[in-house]
Structure 1
Amino acid sequence: MDHDPGLNALSALGGFFVLHTGRPPRGPLPTLARAYAARDADVKREVYENPVIFRVRKVARSVRAPEPRVAASLAHLGLAARLWSVALGAAAVYGTLPDLDPRLLHWDADASAPDELWLTEVRALPAERIGEVVRDGHLVPLAAALGAQLPISERLLWGNAASALMGAVRQIDHWAAANGRREVADRARALAAGLFAHPTLAGTLDAVTSRRRSCCLYYRLPGGGLCGDCCFDRPPGPRPLGGPRRT
């Protein structure tokens, strides 16, 4: 990382791994720390007042989500995928981790997918701190922000986090195999194994198939089907009136 302060090597792994460095060119963007702390703002008027809810509503319009929790799940999944990809990709490629302190990481909640992230200062951390950096520093407060403002299952959110992490592992593995960098894949899988052993992610995926044990709700979109790691074998039918929800 010392020899690549712009983190340019990450772009070869795919769009979810790209991390912009320096100041955002389109003026100041809210930090993720600010986004996680915001509550009950008038997000119809200003993206910076509550970036998380602004993003959920933007996703809802884009995919025609039938209910808020569907849009919340997809918005969460997109940001979780970006955070895991950047962190795990850097740790696997460089052997060190960029400090993704939410106070240093700026987020354009009004941009298209993948979520645009800008890191204003690149500081290397030991790769072994990836759980502290992503899980504790981002996914815990992100889940709290969503749960405080929308009807969304915490179990669903940690299922999203697990799915996003496994997606990053698979993409790194694919890139490493294509480029003769098996050591990169080995580092990613070793770090991921430790992350999946943590109580927040333990049991979220089937140990053999890596399929989820919760659903991201994508099937509820108009024309939506099942994700590749979905817990369902076929889209569920209409829920009986008053029946339990599967999350």
Structure 2
Amino acid sequence: MTTPTHSIHHAAAEGYQANADRYVKGRPDYPPEIAVWLRDVIGLHAGMTVIDLGAGTGTGKFTPRLLETGAQVIAVEPVPQMLEKLSAALPQVKTLAGTADAIPLPDESVDAVVCAQSFHWFATPQALAEIQRILKPGGKLGLVWNMRDARVGWVRKLNQIVDSHEGDAPRFYTGEWRKFFPFKGFEPLQEQVFMLGHRGAVEDVIYNRVRSTSFIAALPQPQQEQVIDRLRQLVAEEEELRGQDTVTVPYQTKAYFTTKV
């Protein structure tokens, strides 16, 4: 295994360190169907061990969903500020500093690895080989993303504002992460899609959500504010958003899994 830290993309390292608090405020939770998916598809229950790989802050997001299964949860996260918040919020979770290509755990030691909002950052053959190494035979790899539903017109415009600043940051929507599948030693990926509405104050579900985007958070402060100004203009122009204290941002939750042969 290599030393953790080498494979953290600069946008993640800079953006998430600077904006751990906004990440908590701005990110949506996950739909209720994820609980069923974790139990019936990933097969999590008491007596099992699951890795939350690229766990982020854990607070109010995916890590609690894993805890609800009764499995032992180990969070692996390379950004210290995120790991610190997770440890404080969820002391029952074991936390490890590490990257996807350097997971500090023994061979064939866990029943499942789940990556929520994270796999696109480390989609490499090295990471998949490392995940395969720590999984027991028959163990599951789960990949989950919440994505704003761009079939809605104003959401598509919002995404265009955000995406214009992505630079070389890896993104789920490009599909680049999929080119590593099928991967030798894993069965073909299977997909399920769930719907989710993220309702809350405009400041949180739109502005703080965008501020929490890694490559936006990594921008100099004046440029970040320019992005937010463009979003405020969008909100003022769109009939569904104009004058609303609270809004619902539509999401699709895409969940994938594969099994170690």
TM class by shorter-chain length?
Answer: under 0.3
Question: Higher relative contact order at CA 8 Å, sep ≥6: structure 1 or structure 2?
Answer: 2
TM-score, normalised to structure 2, is 0.26
Bigger proportion of residues as helix = 1
Bigger proportion of residues as strand = 2
